Amino acid sequence: MAKPAPVIIVTGLRTQFGRQVIHDGLDFSVRRGEVMGIVGGSGSGKSVLLRTMVGLIKPSGGNISVLGRDIGSVRGEKRAQIQQRMGMLFQDGALFSSLTVAQNIQLPLKEHGRISGALLVELTDVKIGIVGLPLDAANKYPSQLSGGMRKRAGLARALALDPEILFLDEPTAGLDPIGAAQFDELIGELRRALGLSVVMVTHDLDSLASICDRIAVLVDKRVIVGTMDSLMHHKNEWVHAYFHGPRARAAKLGGQSAKSNAPARVAE
């Protein structure tokens, strides 16, 4: 069976701030419909890579193709069209504190489309429902929500424009193990139900094992891409230490169980 075509192709990417080189010659791709995890040590530039792929940071060199278009060369309306096909969940949701959950979700809908009031409310309720929030969360402010609920509200906003690619920056950070597992399950369900391609920065070994198809490891300013199984046997010292320790083995076993028991559809 042929592998799905890539939705993102990173070629020779170089990221540099002043004299500090973060990435130097990154080459990898993200396939349609897969969950790609991104890991690396402190200072390896995981979030920088994510923001560069979205177009928030301009690389010093190389190219990033998203959905067949070089995001570094498109401008104006064409660039906006590509960005509408991407959604991003920032750490802790990054919601506007002065707006309700509903108003946060409606921001991208109002910015990119002319939608009537009744349809706007209906679409907002749909997004709130698919991320597992109660409908009464719509009129609450971020400060009135738990950490897990804020992340789900941020996810609802990221999904507002029905993107094809979803970017997640440390989505389970700060959640307890049960909440993190539930969020992982939600991402897996949304991927299957909506046909999403997902790129996820995480430190959570359980997340890597349970929902990631492949993993991109940032090490020595380059990238190593593989599956959980292949990376556990990689000879690079940092990669070996990260993926071959007891926590990684436990996560791998737990992830296999989670994948085999995962539901095929989003719960109604």
| Residue 105, domain member (yes or no) | yes
| Residue 51, domain member (yes or no) | no
End-to-end CA distance of the chain: 32
Q: List the structure tokens of 65.
A: 């193709």
Domain that residue 110 falls in? 94-162
How many domains are contained in the chain? Answer: 1
Q: Dump pLDDT digits (tens) for 17-35.
A: 999 999 999 999 999 999 9
Tell me which amino acid residue 134 is: P
- With beta carbons less than 8 A apart as the criterion, state whether 95 and 131 touch: no
Q: Which residues, including other chains, have CB under 8 Å from residue 217's CB and lie 6 or more apart? A: 39, 40, 223, 224, 225, 226, 231, 236, 238, 239, 242
Q: Dump pLDDT digits (tens) for 115-167.
A: 778 899 999 999 999 999 999 999 999 999 999 999 999 999 999 999 999 99
Q: Dump pLDDT digits (tens) for 213-226.
A: 999 999 999 999 99
| Residue 236, domain member (yes or no) | no
Best CA proximity match to 190, nearest among 242, 133, 266: 266
| Residue 135, domain member (yes or no) | yes
Q: What is the pLDDT of residue 5?
A: 86
| Residue 115, domain member (yes or no) | yes
Q: List the structure tokens of 92.
A: 């802790």
| Residue 224, domain member (yes or no) | no
- Answer whether 0.85 is exceeded by the pTM: yes
φ, ψ for residue 38, nearest 5 deg: -125, 125
| Residue 114, domain member (yes or no) | yes
